[in-house]
Amino acid sequence: MERVSRIDMLREMLTKEAKDVFLNYALALELMTDLKSIREAEVLFLKVLQLDENYLAAYYQLGKLFESELKNEEALGYYKTGLEKARIQKNNKAINEFGEAVFMLED
């Protein structure tokens, strides 16, 4: 399925289920790949965190989004918050991923 039709499909699904965490996250991922849509992706990732403050992947992707814009302080903030939440959840894979991201930016 091509990217545009995935975006359209996700938008349509969100009209029926606006508070679906995964649908918001999936649309944000799709939009994040296009510089013209990066602000909309940011808004959607933030919405995901409003709906579920423990959705670790959204912290990671927000970190990546800001890192791609060379906004390293903002990126670090999301990575560090994600790292703390991953520790609380005892999610070792996420702990390692966030830890690596923090290490790479602080190095």
- Give the mean model confidence (pLDDT) for residues 30-58: 96
Note the pLDDT of residue 2. Answer: 84
CA 104 to chain centre: 18
Q: Is the pTM of this model over 0.85?
A: yes
Kindly state the percentage of the chain with pLDDT values over 90: 93
Reported as a pLDDT band with limits 50, 70 and 90, residue 107 is confident
- Give the mean model confidence (pLDDT) for residues 15-38: 96
- Would you tell me the crossing angle of helices 72-89 and 92-106 to the nearest 10 degrees? 160
Domain count, the chain: 2
- Give the mean model confidence (pLDDT) for residues 43-67: 98
Q: Which amino acid is residue 3, in one-letter code?
A: R
- Give the mean model confidence (pLDDT) for residues 37-42: 97
In order, the DSSP letters of 35-93 are GGGHHHHHHHHHHHHHH-TT-HHHHHHHHHHHHHTT-HHHHHHHHHHHHHHHHHHT-HH
Domain ends where: 52, 68, 83? 52
**What is the rounded average pLDDT for all residues in the chain?**
96
Range of the domain at 61: 53-107
Answer yes or no: do 6 and 33 share one domain. Answer: yes
Answer yes or no: do 45 and 57 share one domain. Answer: no
Note the pLDDT of residue 4. Answer: 76
Answer yes or no: do 2 and 32 share one domain. Answer: yes
- Give the mean model confidence (pLDDT) for residues 14-40: 96
Note the pLDDT of residue 75. Answer: 98
Answer yes or no: do 63 and 18 share one domain. Answer: no
3 pLDDT exceeds 80? no
